[in-house]
Structure 1
Amino acid sequence: MSAETFIRLTTLLDTQQARYRVMEHASAGRSEEVALLRGTQLGQGAKALVCHVKGNGIKQHVLAVLPADQQADLSLLAAGIGGTRASLASPAEVSALTDCVFGAIPPFSFHPDLLLVAAPLLFQRFDELAFNAGTLERSVILNTQDYQRIAAPRLVQFIKCQE
């Protein structure tokens, strides 16, 4: 699982002439741990969550991407898509929609039923984004503008307010 996702991702980045590099590292499941292994800031991490959005006649799987130092507000995500509620997808759904395990999902949707959205803050702080690329032992560090250009996510404000 996920070797195909990595090949598909790097082929897309190469075809689109993206500025990126691949980094192999020890397996890490938490954002803080992998940022240390990569030598990047926690906020550079592009955390990708597979969610269900429902209500108001909407039933949509969403790949919601936000900086790794932030938390998602699923009610804001639902409202941003036009639904009334959102929840995290099950591990089986994550696998079926991304061909990846939790923590290794790149911020790109390769499935026609998976809508890609991103929090605007993702594009405002760092010149490069870092994310796991199909496995917990491999990361991609990608130019932020190239990510936005190539992935073309729908922008939705769904970051939980810090108090």
Structure 2
Amino acid sequence: MSEAPVFDRIVALLTREKASFRVIEHEPEGRSDRISVIRGNKPDQAAKAMVLDVRGGGGGRRHVLAILPGSRKLDFDAVAQHFGARKCGFASPETAQEITGCAMGSVPPFSFDHSLAVLVDPDLLAHTTIFFNAGRLDRSMEVDTQDWLRVARPVPVRVAMQPFGKPSSRA
């Protein structure tokens, strides 16, 4: 991990890439439902970022950053299936912090670790802008969705459960 705080690295990256974004200062909060209310965005616009531990299959063990709408739950089976793995779960808080440099609840939808693959559920991309905690519990960003896609370069994969707990279609 670089010596620069993650927040500063995101600001520098987005500025260098001429992305459209704004910083939002707020009280410390890491839960998607609560921070969406504080920021005034729809929960579906919140980019919830989770570090996962994917095991088995041809790839062995790997860590993955899954990004999904803040109002949705993760479909662990979809992530495992994408990687041909037999098991997927949350990485430990310690592992997630070691990989991302961020406390739980402040992990942004960016990877500064070349070994951390980034997946995004396509439903998040339906919005003009997305919101996320930016490496700090007291700072968020609103970023143009197309700019985020261009800069973060995630792989679109259906990883969110549909409302009411139904798995996503994997078509």
Q: Which interval holds the TM-score relative to the shorter structure?
A: over 0.9
RMSD: 1.5
Tell me the residue number matched to 2:119: 117
CA deviation after TM superposition for structure 1 residue 39, in Å: 1.2
Q: How does 1:1-163 map to 2 (within 5 A)?
A: 4-58=5-59, 59-124=61-126, 126-163=127-164
CA deviation after TM superposition for structure 1 residue 161, in Å: 3.0
One-letter identity of the residue aligned with 1:134: G
The Cα offsets for residues 31-89 of structure 1, whole Å up to 9 and x where unpaired, read as: 12111111111111000000011111222100000010111111111111221210100
Secondary structure in 1 matching 2:80: helix
Provide structure 1 residue ranges, at least 5 long, that are not aligned to the other structure: none
State the 4+ residue runs in structure 1 displaced beyond 2 angstroms.
none
Partners of 1:16 and 1:71 in 2: CA distance: 31
Partners of 1:13 and 1:144 in 2: CA distance: 12
What TM-score do you get using the length of structure 2 for normalisation? 0.90
Partners of 2:89 and 2:22 in 1: CA distance: 33
Alpha-carbon distance change, 3 to 133 in structure 1, aligned in 2, over 3 angstroms: farther
Secondary structure in 2 matching 1:112: coil
Q: Percent of pairs identical after alignment? A: 37
CA deviation after TM superposition for structure 1 residue 4, in Å: 1.0
Give the total of aligned pairs: 162
Provide structure 2 residue ranges, at least 5 long, that are not aligned to the other structure: 165-171
What TM-score do you get using the length of structure 1 for normalisation? 0.94
